[in-house]
Amino acid sequence: MAQIIDGKLLSIQVLEQVAHEVDILKAECGIVPALAVILVGDDPASQVYVRNKAKRATEVGMLSLEYRFDADIAQVKLNRLIRELNSDPTVHGILVQLPLPDHLNEDEIISAIAPSKDVDGFHPQNVGALASGQPALVPCTPQGCMIMLRKVYADLSGKSAVVIGRSNIVGKPMAALLLQANCTVTIVHSHTANIEDFCRQADIVVAAVGRVGLVKSSWIKPGATVIDVGINEIHEEGRRKLRGDVDFQDVEPIAGAITPVPGGVGPMTIACLLLNTLKAAKKKNTSLKLDDMAFEAM
Ligand code: GUN
């Protein structure tokens, strides 16, 4: 029986710590951290994500600003809004929900966000800083996965880790964080032959490909830790359900620790977004340093 890593519970602990620090920031500096979220179009999944981000931001005492646009908005209009938010000192975090409609240039829009307000950690300056081990705003999902892994391992040094998937949002930054924690890291992807052979050697497997139930027990070394980033919607018995990239029923008996879906990585992503917003607000406005140690101890 594997240890189930409870992302819901862990996210509540992170959010409580964030709320506490928001209170201090308000009381000592009169600053209310503000997160601006931009949503283009009516993708149902994106609408749910944005609603949840706004709800949690408000719950921890932050100001949540939402900008919604029709799918046919012009790039220049989005660029102009981002420039305005960049120069507004009362806004600390800016997030453009992805994916964007095809006519918009995602790279250009992400690059338009001020790196200091880039709470997704997607701006090339933050990507480069993470890759070279400098202080950066770090993408939220991999950051959440690292907090979960630290619950399992006091020290990640020397562990072998396989990341399945090479996206800019999860796979690549996940690998960078694991490397920074002294893991031996392999990224496998759609062009990798015999992915399961790589996984079977690993102490840690992080699955982030968006394929329901891809990872089976035969892929996993007994006792390994399995982090499931997949959030796939399926229809079963006439109902919508969320399933991960890992076949949980099959893998759980052999794994040492595993994250469930739902209730695993998902809630941690939002908690880390608000952690990044808090960091951005503190860095901009005060000489106070975020108590990183408090978070790392979680
Ligand atoms: N779409 C899916 N995941 C993410 C994320 O972490 N940030 C943004 N902005 N869009 C997403």
Cα of 139 from ligand 1 centre, angstroms = 9
Does position 293 have pLDDT exceeding 50, yes or no?
no
Full 3-state SS string of the chain: CCEECCHHHHHHHHHHHHHHHHHHHHHHHCCCCEEEEEEECCCHHHHHHHHHHHHHHHHCCCEEEEEEECCCCCHHHHHHHHHHHHHCCCCCEEEECCCCCCCCCHHHHHHHCCHHHECCCCCHHHHHHHHCCCCCCCCHHHHHHHHHHHHHCCCCCCCEEEEECCCCCCHHHHHHHHHHCCCEEEEECCCCCCHHHHHHCCCEEEECCCCCCCECHHHCCCCCEEEECCCEEEEECCEEEEECCECHHHHCCCCCEECCCCCCHHHHHHHHHHHHHHHHHHHHHCCCCCCHHHHHCC
Tell me if 72 is assigned to some domain.
yes
pLDDT at site 1: 87
97 Cβ closer than 6 Å to some ligand 1 atom: yes
Catalytic residues: 53, 97, 120
| Tokens 């240039």 found at | 105
Residues 148 and 193 both lie in one domain:
yes
Does position 290 have pLDDT exceeding 80, yes or no?
no
Q: Average per-residue pLDDT in the chain? A: 95
Which residue, judged by its Cα, is nearest atom 2 of ligand 1?
98
Residues 107 and 167 both lie in one domain:
no
Q: How far apart are CA 297 and CA 260, in angstroms?
A: 22
119 Cβ closer than 6 Å to some ligand 1 atom: no
276 Cβ closer than 6 Å to some ligand 1 atom: no
Q: What is the mean pLDDT of residues 112-133?
A: 98
Domain of residue 166 covers: 140-266
Tell me if 251 is assigned to some domain.
yes
Which residue, judged by its Cα, is nearest atom 9 of ligand 1?
97
Tell me if 217 is assigned to some domain.
yes
Does position 172 have pLDDT exceeding 80, yes or no?
yes
Overall domain count for the chain: 2
254 Cβ closer than 6 Å to some ligand 1 atom: no
Residues 105 and 171 both lie in one domain:
no
Q: What is the mean pLDDT of residues 37-43?
A: 97
Residues 149 and 62 both lie in one domain:
no
pLDDT at site 278: 98
Of all residues in the chain, the percent with pLDDT exceeding 90 is 94
In 3D, which of 207, 253, 208, 249 has the Cα closest to residue 226?
207
pLDDT digits (tens, 9 = 90+) for 183-196: 999 999 999 999 99
Residues 209 and 255 both lie in one domain:
yes
pLDDT digits (tens, 9 = 90+) for 213-224: 999 999 999 999
Which is more confidently placed, 284 or 103? 103
pLDDT at site 285: 64
Cα of 223 from ligand 1 centre, angstroms = 31
Q: Which of 98, 114, 130 is the last residue of a domain?
A: 114
When mean pLDDT is compared across 91-95, 120-124, 218-222, 293-297, the lowest value belongs to 293-297
Q: How far apart are CA 215 and CA 244, in angstroms?
A: 9
Residues 254 and 152 both lie in one domain:
yes
126 Cβ closer than 6 Å to some ligand 1 atom: no
Residues 163 and 249 both lie in one domain:
yes
Tell me if 95 is assigned to some domain.
yes
* Residue 98 alpha carbon, nearest atom of ligand 1: 10
Tell me if 104 is assigned to some domain.
yes
Q: What is the dihedral of CA 74, 140, 94, 110, to 10 degrees?
A: -40
Residues 70 and 176 both lie in one domain:
no
CATH for 254: 3.40.50.720
CATH for 88: 3.40.50.10860
Instruction: Find out whether the peptide bond into 33 is cis, omega within 30 degrees of 0.
Output: no
39, 43, 49, best to mutate for ligand 1 pocket (most atoms within 8 Å of CB): 49
Cα of 42 from ligand 1 centre, angstroms = 15
When mean pLDDT is compared across 159-168, 220-229, 281-290, the lowest value belongs to 281-290
Cβ pair 77, 84 in contact under 8 A: no
Residues 224 and 261 both lie in one domain:
yes
* Residue 141 alpha carbon, nearest atom of ligand 1: 6
Tell me if 281 is assigned to some domain.
no
Does position 292 have pLDDT exceeding 70, yes or no?
no
Does position 298 have pLDDT exceeding 90, yes or no?
no
141 Cβ closer than 6 Å to some ligand 1 atom: yes
47 Cβ closer than 6 Å to some ligand 1 atom: no
| Tokens 């701006």 found at | 123
Residues 163 and 103 both lie in one domain:
no
Q: How far apart are CA 171 and CA 206, in angstroms?
A: 8
Residues 35 and 110 both lie in one domain:
yes
Q: What is the mean pLDDT of residues 149-178?
A: 98
Tell me if 288 is assigned to some domain.
no
Residues 99 and 52 both lie in one domain:
yes
pLDDT at site 286: 55
Q: How far apart are CA 10 and CA 271, in angstroms?
A: 9
Tell me if 157 is assigned to some domain.
yes
* Residue 95 alpha carbon, nearest atom of ligand 1: 9
85 Cβ closer than 6 Å to some ligand 1 atom: no
CA angle 86, 110, 207 (to 5 degrees): 130
pLDDT at site 180: 97
Does position 296 have pLDDT exceeding 50, yes or no?
no
Cα of 120 from ligand 1 centre, angstroms = 7
